[in-house]
């Protein structure tokens, strides 16, 4: 067994009969399994394949939700390991889906003695789960149902003590909105994919983690070495030592806008004239109260802000870069107060800011094209740039009030309902984030091949293509991008299993990450083995999707707006996303045929049983 990293306990929570069992991690998961999947996203993929029918209804009682940490979670300050992972089948995308969140909840779940939690079945009445000192217990949550995230969190902190850390859903999750997130620490979100709706469908309101146990270290001497190395390299990086600490993630606003890939008005344009008004620099100057770091983080990119001016007064976490884009430029809104207020509402009501902003932008384009009649809007003019409408639609989406009921479906289903599915900028039903792929070809391929739908965090090729980290690549060329993308996807999948923050990759890469895993666990994993972990995860996810809904090459694409309509103006004018030029090489490198892993590829990665199941279901390529 590993000498360190794992607490040795997991909880299986049957919500249907209210039964909670605490098991031994190492009895259920042999060391071979832990080395193959590590934790977090990887272990979630393993458990989904082991315990969940890929064709299950995401909001039905047979779907399961997994709450997971990794071996590096909560070990020490300096490794950016204050994170946890939610894995389930997404009601937004019908894919296997992981969502990562920072803050303090993940480490405290380990301090309570737990590596992961399995949530299954459906409770008749609202409940919440308490994890404390290797014990797990369900409690009545009828008094919490209907309350927002902040109110719920404060009640549970008062009830269980100041050291209690809370992850909860809000009204959006209770109402099964596909925008619904799980919010921990009142401002950190497992945001994408509608995970909050899965908890809501199970009548699970919250999980409370309380504990003071220490995460064991496998090799203390090696651990001190890798810790010093990690800190030194982050201090030497301009991104992790200067840009992110000083201006937060929204430091990217001006950079991406100047590159001509800052999507505006639902990706109709790629430069936003009011970008400076919602930038990290503007946030720091006008509304920043303090930095808000995750547990043990020395980068401290998080922001805690206050809006002083009426009518949007308030304070809270954020906004992040993706948020100011989605609720700002993508909706044509350059009013920082309104954008920040909408962000606060998403935190309080439990919603993903990216999908919410995209859905509102789709609604605005539908309105301007005459597809949404005025009479259903209760007097709201839903034009791009309308700051008041942005805030109004945010709370309406959470409560599914009026037109908010349609917005709560997410951008793709909203556009489809009103007869224009082509105006939703999405992959596999999940809306794209804050980079126009027409001006970053490698990143475009990353969007198209993302197993969880439109996502910048499966592989962040903005790093080399725009920021020049670790080296500058021409963003407009397709040559060699498939190889770079595969490497990023595999390393990120393994990193998501440790579980640590992706911002560390601005300072170091797979060699250092492998050394950290080894020092914490006591293993002797090679860099090549670490890479295979990531490759195994990526193939397992694609195999699950193939069995779930026939995922493959027809989904590895982008909307016509991005592949056929050139960027109309700005530094990247004239470019389109050239997915078809890169996909054949990507498939060759992956060992896939028509977008699905072959038997040879799966067996090479130790996934023979998965290949057998794909063959039985008729989705294994010949």
Give one DSSP letter per residue of 534-550, joined into a string. Answer: HHHHHHHHHHHHHHHH-
For the cut 90, the answer to whether the pLDDT of residue 500 exceeds it is yes
CA distances from 76 to 106, 135, 224, 278, 449 (A): 13, 24, 10, 34, 34
**Per-residue tokens: 462:** 């903005």
Task: Tell me how far apart the terminal alpha carbons of the chain are, to the nearest angstrom.
Answer: 38
pLDDT at residue number 379: 84
Where residue 37 falls among pLDDT bands split at 50, 70, 90? very high
Q: Are 346 and 169 in contact (CB under 8 A)?
A: no
388 CA to centre of own chain: 28
Determine the average pLDDT of the residues in 442-452: 98
| 574-587 per-position pLDDT tens digit | 999 999 999 999 99
**Per-residue tokens: 256:** 């991406």
**Per-residue tokens: 220:** 């203390």
Q: What are phi and psi of 601, to 5 degrees?
A: -65, -45
What whole-number distance in Å separates Cα of residue 507 and Cα of residue 531? 18
Residue 124: name the closest of 148, 141, 100 by CA. Answer: 141
pLDDT at residue number 219: 96
H or E element that contains 107: helix 105-111
For the cut 90, the answer to whether the pLDDT of residue 378 exceeds it is no
Is omega for the bond preceding 319 within 30 degrees of 0, making it cis? yes
For the cut 90, the answer to whether the pLDDT of residue 375 exceeds it is no
For the cut 90, the answer to whether the pLDDT of residue 374 exceeds it is no
Residue 146: name the closest of 393, 399, 338 by CA. Answer: 399
Determine the average pLDDT of the residues in 358-369: 98
Residue 588: name the closest of 580, 579, 599, 597 by CA. Answer: 597
H or E element that contains 140: strand 135-140
- List the alpha helices (DSSP H) in 408-526: 411-417, 441-448, 462, 481-498, 510-521
Q: Enter the DSSP assignment of 440.
A: -
pLDDT at residue number 1: 81
Where residue 305 falls among pLDDT bands split at 50, 70, 90? very high
Determine the average pLDDT of the residues in 579-600: 98
Mind listing the domains of the chain with CATH numbers? 9-210 (3.60.9.10), 249-431 (1.10.569.10), 437-616 (1.10.599.10)
Report if pTM > 0.95: yes
Q: At CA 50, angle to CA 48 and CA 55, rounded to 5?
A: 60
Q: Are 428 and 555 in contact (CB under 8 A)?
A: yes
pLDDT at residue number 118: 98
For the cut 90, the answer to whether the pLDDT of residue 409 exceeds it is yes
Give one DSSP letter per residue of 48-81, joined into a string. Answer: HHHH--TTS-TTSTT--EEEE--TTTTS-TTS--
For the cut 90, the answer to whether the pLDDT of residue 186 exceeds it is yes
For the cut 90, the answer to whether the pLDDT of residue 245 exceeds it is yes
> Per this entry, what is the length of the chain?
622
pLDDT at residue number 76: 93
For the cut 90, the answer to whether the pLDDT of residue 438 exceeds it is yes
Determine the average pLDDT of the residues in 269-296: 97
Helix 353-368 with 387-399: angle, nearest 10 deg: 120
């Amino acid at each position: 067994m590993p000498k360190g990293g794992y607490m040795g306990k997991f909880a299986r929570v049957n919500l249907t009969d209210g039964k909670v069992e605490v098991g031994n991690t190492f009895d259920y998961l042999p060391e071979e399994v832990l080395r193959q999947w590590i934790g977090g996203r990887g272990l979630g993929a393993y458990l989904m394949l082991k315990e969940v029918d890929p064709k299950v209804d995401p909001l039905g009682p047979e779907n399961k939700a997994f709450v997971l940490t990794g071996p590096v979670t909560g070990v020490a300050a300096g490794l950016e390991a204050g994170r946890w992972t939610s894995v389930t089948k997404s009601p937004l995308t019908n894919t296997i889906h992981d969502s990562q969140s920072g803050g303090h909840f993940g480490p405290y779940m380990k301090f309570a003695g737990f590596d992961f939690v399995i949530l299954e079945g459906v409770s008749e009445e609202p409940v919440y789960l308490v994890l404390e000192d290797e014990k797990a217990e369900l409690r009545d949550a009828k008094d919490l149902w209907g309350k927002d995230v902040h109110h719920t969190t404060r009640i549970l902190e008062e009830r269980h003590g100041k050291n209690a850390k809370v992850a909860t859903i809000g009204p959006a999750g209770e109402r099964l909105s596909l925008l619904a997130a799980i919010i921990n620490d009142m401002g950190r979100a497992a945001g994408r994919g509608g995970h909050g709706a899965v908890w809501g469908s199970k009548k699970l309101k919250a999980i409370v983690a309380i504990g003071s146990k220490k995460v064991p270290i496998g090799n203390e001497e090696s651990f001190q070495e890798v810790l010093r190395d990690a800190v030194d390299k982050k201090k030497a990086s301009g991104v992790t030592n200067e840009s992110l600490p000083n201006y937060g993630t929204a430091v990217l606003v001006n950079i991406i806008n100047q590159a001509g890939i800052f999507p505006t008005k639902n990706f109709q344009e790629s430069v936003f004239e009011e970008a400076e008004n919602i930038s990290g620099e503007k946030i720091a100057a006008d509304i920043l109260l303090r930095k808000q770091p995750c547990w043990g983080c020395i980068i401290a990119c998080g922001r805690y802000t206050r809006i002083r001016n009426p009518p949007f007064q308030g304070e809270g976490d954020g906004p992040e870069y993706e948020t100011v884009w989605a609720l700002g430029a993508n909706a044509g809104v350059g009013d920082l107060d309104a954008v920040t207020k909408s962000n606060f509402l998403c935190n309080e009501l439990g919603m993903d800011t990216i999908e919410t902003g995209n859905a509102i932008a789709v609604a605005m384009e539908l309105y301007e094209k005459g597809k949404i009649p005025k009479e259903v809007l209760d007097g709201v003019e839903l034009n791009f740039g309308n700051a008041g409408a942005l805030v109004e639609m945010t709370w309406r989406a959470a409560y599914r009030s009026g037109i908010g009921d349609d917005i709560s479906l997410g951008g793709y289903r909203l556009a489809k309902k009103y007869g224009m599915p082509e105006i939703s900028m999405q992959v596999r039903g999940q809306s794209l984030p804050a980079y126009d792929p027409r001006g970053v070809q490698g990143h475009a391929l990353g969007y198209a091949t993302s197993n969880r739908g439109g996502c910048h965090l499966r592989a962040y090729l903005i790093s080399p293509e725009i920021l020049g980290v670790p080296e500058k690549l021409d963003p407009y060329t397709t040559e060699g991008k498939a190889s770079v993308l595969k490497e990023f996807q595999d390393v990120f999948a393994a990193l998501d299993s440790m579980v640590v923050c992706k911002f560390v990759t601005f300072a170091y890469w797979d060699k250092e990450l492998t050394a950290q895993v080894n020092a914490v666990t006591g293993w002797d994993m090679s860099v090549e083995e670490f890479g295979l972990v990531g490759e195994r995860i990526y193939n397992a996810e694609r195999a699950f999707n193939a069995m779930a809904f026939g995922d493959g090459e027809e989904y590895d694409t982008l909307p016509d707006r991005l592949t056929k309509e050139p960027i109309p103006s700005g530094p990247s004018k004239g470019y389109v996303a050239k997915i078809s030029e890169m996909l054949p090489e990507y498939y060759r490198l992956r060992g896939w045929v028509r977008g699905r892993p072959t038997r040879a590829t799966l067996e090479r990665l130790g996934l023979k049983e998965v290949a057998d199941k794909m063959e039985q279901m008729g989705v294994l390529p010949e």
